Amino acid sequence: MVGNTYEALPFYHSGTGREMCQWLTHIKLSRIIILTSIVLFIVPLFTHYYLSKVESDVPDRDMYRTFSTLEAFEDFTSMKASQLKMRIEEMFRIKISVSNELRDLSAKRQRLQSEVNSLTQKIDELKQELLHQQTDLDRLKISVEQAQVAQKEAVERNTPELAPPKRILINTLPIVLPSTNPRSCRMYNCFDHSRCALTSGFPVYLYDPDQFSVVSPGWDVDGFLKTTIKQTLGYNPHLTRNPAEACVYIVLIGEALSLHQKRNQRHNKALDIKKLQALPYWGGDGRNHILLNLARRDLSADSGNIFSNLDTGRAIVVQSTFYRNQFRDDFDLIVPPILGPPGGDVWQECAQMLPARRKYLLSFQGEMRTFMGTAMTYQIDDADIDLEKLIIDDNNIDAFIIQHLKDMSNGITLDKFFIQFECIPASMESKPVETLDWSLCGTDSSRRAILKESTFALILAPSNATLLTTSFMQARLYEALRAGSIPVILGGDQILLNYNEVVDWRRAVIFLPKARVTEMHFLLRAVPDNDLLTIRRQGRLIWERYMSTAQGVVDTTIAVIRDRLGIPPLPASQTPSPSVFNESFVPLKSDAIIAEPEAEESLGPLEPPYPSPAFKRNYTTLLIQNHEIWNDWMDPFNLYPQLPFDTVLPSDAKFLGSEVGFRPIGKGAGGAGKEFSESLGGNYPREQFTIVMLTYEREQVLINSLARLYGLPYLNKVLVVWNSPKPPVEDLKWPDIGVPIHVIKAPRNSLNNRFLPFDAIETEAVLSIDDDAHLRHDEIMFGFRVWREHRDRVVGFPGRFHAWDQNYHNAWNYNSNYSCELSMVLTGAAFIHKHYTYLYTHWLPQAIRDKVDEYMNCEDIAMNFLISHLTRKPPVKVTSRWTFRCPGCPVSLSEDDTHFQERHKCINFFSQVFGYMPLLNTQYRADSILFKTRIPHDKQKCFKFI
């Protein structure tokens, strides 16, 4: 075979050895090329074969093609170089073709994989949508059941809708009737109830004191009193200009114009009884008339009792001084003298409540002297001096009291006393008068300075036991309460104080019989600090509300008479809610919503708007909670739609006769998450809440926050308080969240607008929330459920506390750090009762609202102060959330150091206005029941993430 090969090569015989070497080298290279070609092309051919086998339906043909290709390789050794080159080029073309096919197949595979991923994602979305639809279906089923129950309750109840009582007024003047014995007068036999229907609103008519004067010639009503009473009554909502519809008629008597006139006319009565009985609506006996005798400057007993020995008929006498045989229980009325301004903010008049124990344990400034068996008492107001005579024997109690007080002040204890019995200049002349009473020493400012340093202030009851109360004693009470000194009335068992039928004075004053003067020191030392401050706080509340101003005295007088008749006050005024849009403009709607990531969790049924029942307790509140209204809540002047203190039914009542409105969990059987989400449960009937959101020129942030509220259960409506002077842009698209969004035009840019009692708020629960706060639906629902059990408190999410800075300023600091206790819950995300919006706007001292406007800050602190002051309870924090983050929002004011400095100042200023720090610390936080509790796999927790 080798020989044959050599024969086939003609240059073998004729060539040289070098050529032979070249030929052999050529042969080797050819073989290497052939082997390389085989390696390069056989592998792609096999690859092409397998790929073709996958896609081809005729595998035998592919095998035949493969065998043919392999057979072609068998002749590579016999090919010429040119043929071999062509074959190699062909193989390269085949390789390129195979590579292109491989790339196409890879691209096709990627497209198929992408389609598979897209379909898989679509399947997941459809599954999620199915869950959402199933959740919505379940909610709708629950909603249908709730609606059927509500319809059934409405049919069974069969009562008209509740609303403020409609006024029923009389339209005739009083007719003349025969007079009766005035000494036997009580409300049941001397008052004409036919003129005062329960729904009349208690209209009051005032005789113009300039037109209808009833004082004798030479006398005149104090000009200050006339002007002040007319002005203050003008602000009272009960005042009417129509005498035909009036329930009561007020006659202003007042006091003598000057003491000089009174001395010259000592035997001339100040009141002209004929003028009194000639009043146009007197009706012959003065029924339903109120004779208002308000003292201001002359506080002596004889001046304050101008009705002595006069026939006042069936008229109610209102004054500060009464003899015991003159006062008619539950008919006449004791009032304090007018010692304060006409009205306004009086917090600066009050002393601070702390420390609990002051420099002096007890103080007294007064005088009673005995000359040759005659006890002399001096009155130095307006340089007037009166001397009262009394024959004193060895057993006189007043002499014993004086001696014991002197001995007590010189005792061996470390307690300090300020007891002053000798304070009248010897040069002053004294004159005898008909009665005996104590006088005071010093000027108003000097007495106030002593009282502010006294823990207790001693007040002595009139020495003349025939006096039931005097203007002088009421004035001492006024001074003590104003200074924060707890009154101790020695002889308190023989006297009555102002508004005694409604004000619980035993919570603000210590009453002691005179016989217990020797036990007084022991008793005062036995009062602990917490009770001291409680009594002092109660006294300040009574003074501020009922005694501090002429407005308060007049309003309280009218309220007491109305309260006797069982007539509810007029409804509290609400703030109108004007829309920021004009009547012709229709805001654009947007379908864009921001779905909750945990939307598969059922949080409650979807219900139509359901307002809280209002004015259900117009008449029973006065019966059940009258004491609290006058002594705790301090607002008997207004009728509110609801109160956070309304009474609660026992648990079994919702199943036995009082089931209307209740939605017990599992219809009373209880249950875990599924049953829990279907009903509100708890101790109160079903209700909804209103969201109030304050905003200022952050349209997109606002819209995003509103969109997140879509599908929120138990939401009644959303009020957006538009604080900006610029209206919203016309092309702003408002999301459709399933409940009304009411955009209110604020009267001015003020953070106090957050707490205005808008008439558009129809629910008791109000969720106050910032426009950049991001709360999940489950968090909101949990907060709402917790608030239902703590309706009188702030219930919310971001907690803060007040901290004492003893290193630098000895003052309060506002602190937002993480802490194991808190004292405030910020109203940027908190539930409050609508009742507190009334109190914030109309009851809170104006100085606090002015400070909020000055800093454009601190309104949330002010609301916490108010509620803690009234309830003496701390707020309730829910969930672990401490603060909020708002991605995409501008830099918050709270990140500025100035913000915190202002809040430091606010918290100290507010404590000065209140007289103490009302905030209380708490270490309590509310989390969901079954939170972190291991429950069976077939049960659900109340909330999945709380």
Nearest Cα to 424, choosing from 371, 359, 474? Answer: 371
Higher pLDDT, 641 or 410: 641
Count Cβ neighbours within 10 Å for each residue of 457-475 and write b for 16 or more, e otherwise: bbbbbbbbeebbbbbbbbb
**pLDDT value at 560 more than 90:** yes
**pLDDT value at 774 more than 80:** yes
**CB within 8 A of 194, min separation 6: which ones?**
170
Q: Which amino acid is located at 582 in the chain?
A: N
How do residues 870-906 score in pLDDT, each as one tens digit? 999 999 999 988 776 655 555 454 556 889 999 999 9
CB 351 within 8 A of CB 484: yes
CB 778 within 8 A of CB 601: yes
User: What would the mean pLDDT of 138-167 be, rounded to a whole number?
Assistant: 69
**pLDDT value at 278 more than 60:** yes
CA separation for the pair 672, 666 (Å, rounded) = 9
**pLDDT value at 357 more than 90:** yes
Share of the chain above pLDDT 70, in %: 80
Average pLDDT for the chain:
83
Cα 164 off chain centre by = 23
The tokens for 708 are 């997140």
CA separation for the pair 688, 711 (Å, rounded) = 14
- 398 catalytic per annotation: no
pTM for this predicted structure: 0.81
Angle among Cα 561, 564, 568 to the nearest 5 degrees reads: 85
Cα 114 off chain centre by = 56
Count Cβ neighbours within 10 Å for each residue of 496-516 and write b for 16 or more, e otherwise: bbbbeebbebeebbbbbebee
**pLDDT value at 218 more than 90:** no
The reported pLDDT for the residue numbered 308 is: 76
CB 831 within 8 A of CB 767: yes
Share of the chain above pLDDT 90, in %: 53
Q: φ and ψ at 239, to 5 degrees? A: -65, 135
**CB within 8 A of 654, min separation 6: which ones?**
662, 664, 668
Q: Compute the residue count for the chain.
A: 946
**CB within 8 A of 626, min separation 6: which ones?**
502, 563
**pLDDT value at 647 more than 60:** yes
Q: φ and ψ at 362, to 5 degrees? A: -145, 145
Count Cβ neighbours within 10 Å for each residue of 806-829 and write b for 16 or more, e otherwise: eeeeeebbbbbeeeeebbbbbbbb
**CB within 8 A of 345, min separation 6: which ones?**
845, 846, 847
How do residues 17-66 score in pLDDT, each as one tens digit? 555 545 455 555 566 666 665 656 565 565 555 555 544 444 444 444 44
Higher pLDDT, 795 or 10: 795
Nearest Cα to 900, choosing from 794, 769, 805, 782? Answer: 805
Integer angstrom CA distances of residue 542 from 181, 362, 478, 497: 35, 21, 10, 12
The reported pLDDT for the residue numbered 428 is: 36
Annotated catalytic residue within 860, 897, 927, 938: 860
How do residues 285-321 score in pLDDT, each as one tens digit? 999 999 999 888 767 655 567 787 788 899 999 999 9
**pLDDT value at 397 more than 90:** no
Beta bridge partners of 815: 801
Q: What count of other Cβ atoms lies within 10 Å of the Cβ of residue 306?
A: 22
CA separation for the pair 215, 291 (Å, rounded) = 12
**pLDDT value at 799 more than 90:** yes
Integer angstrom CA distances of residue 498 from 345, 439, 475, 549: 22, 20, 11, 14
Higher pLDDT, 262 or 691: 691
Higher pLDDT, 315 or 1: 315
**pLDDT value at 499 more than 90:** yes
Q: What count of other Cβ atoms lies within 10 Å of the Cβ of residue 614?
A: 19
Most confident range, picked from 118-127, 153-162, 570-579, 668-677: 570-579
Assign 178 a pLDDT band (cuts: 50, 70, 90). Answer: low
Specify the residue for token string 């708007």. Answer: 609
Which segment of 234-243, 416-425, 645-654 scores lowest on mean pLDDT?
416-425
**pLDDT value at 123 more than 80:** yes
CA separation for the pair 884, 539 (Å, rounded) = 41
**pLDDT value at 13 more than 90:** no
CA separation for the pair 878, 802 (Å, rounded) = 19
The reported pLDDT for the residue numbered 684 is: 94
The reported pLDDT for the residue numbered 159 is: 58
Q: What count of other Cβ atoms lies within 10 Å of the Cβ of residue 430?
A: 16
Domains of the chain with CATH codes: 2-135 (no CATH), 182-334 (no CATH), 347-548 (3.40.50), 591-648+684-926 (3.90.550.10)
The reported pLDDT for the residue numbered 155 is: 65
Count Cβ neighbours within 10 Å for each residue of 597-608 and write b for 16 or more, e otherwise: eebebbbbbbbe
**CB within 8 A of 516, min separation 6: which ones?**
523
Assign 394 a pLDDT band (cuts: 50, 70, 90). Answer: very low
**CB within 8 A of 1, min separation 6: which ones?**
none
**CB within 8 A of 650, min separation 6: which ones?**
none
The reported pLDDT for the residue numbered 1 is: 41
Higher pLDDT, 933 or 768: 768
Cα 296 off chain centre by = 38
The reported pLDDT for the residue numbered 183 is: 81
Q: Strand locations in 253-315, DSSP E?
A: 289-292
**pLDDT value at 380 more than 50:** no
Instruction: Measure the CA dihedral 145/149/155/160, to 10°.
Output: -110
How do residues 407-465 score in pLDDT, each as one tens digit? 998 888 899 999 988 765 433 333 333 334 555 666 778 889 999 999 999 999 988 88
Do strands 811-815 and 799-805 pair parallel, antiparallel, or not at all (unpaired)? antiparallel
Assign 390 a pLDDT band (cuts: 50, 70, 90). Answer: very low
Integer angstrom CA distances of residue 812 from 849, 897, 909, 916, 919: 20, 17, 10, 11, 11
